Amino acid sequence: MKKSGILNRHLSGALARLGHTDLVMVCDAGLPIPEGPLVVDLAFRAGVPSFAEVLEGILDELEVEGAVAATEVREANPAASALLDRLFPASAPPAPGGPGLELVPHEELKTRTRQARLVVRTGEARPFANVLLRCGVPF
């Protein structure tokens, strides 16, 4: 039995199958999920688990070279916006230890979600708590 890291067998296994440039959407409970990607639904109750705790847990285990979120997060969800800024600092080139964050209109983010290999649905009940991660390599 695993003693640390992500214990959910479905999520842990799905992360292990990802490769360079694969896309992973970590989303709130309300994002429409298109047909196609594997979905690991962690939502239990409104707010549980939170977007922050799921995203931070995934980033502990996944090498990420890029991230995309909705422009609307800036005004509609200051807490998620601050989290994304902390985890994906803006710089060119990306800062050591993390990629920069690209912002696009929410409708475009939903369109890009169709290309995701994995969608991880959280119980987050605040708007625009969504980020599309592009997998990197650790070498």
Q: Which residues are catalytic?
A: 20
Q: Is 106 assigned a ligand-binding role in the annotation?
A: yes
- Write the secondary structure of the chain as one string of H (helix), E (strand) and C (coil): CCCCCCCCHHHHHHHHCCCCCCEEEEECCCCCCCCCCEEEECCCECCECCHHHHHHHHHHHCCEEEEEEECCHHHHCHHHHHHHHHHCCCCCCCCCCCCCEEEECHHHHHHHHCCCCEEEECCCCCCCCCEEEEECCCC
Asked whether residue 16 is marked as a ligand-binding residue, the answer is no
Report the alpha-carbon distance of residue 6 to residue 21 in Å, rounded. Answer: 21
Q: Give the strand pairing for 118-121 and 38-41.
A: parallel
Q: Is 28 annotated as a binding residue?
A: yes
Query: Residue 129 annotated as binding?
Result: yes
Show the tokens assigned to 32: 């429409």
69 is in an annotated binding site: no
Residue ranges of the annotated binding site for substrate are: 28, 106, 128-130
Residue ranges of the annotated binding site are: 28, 106, 128-130
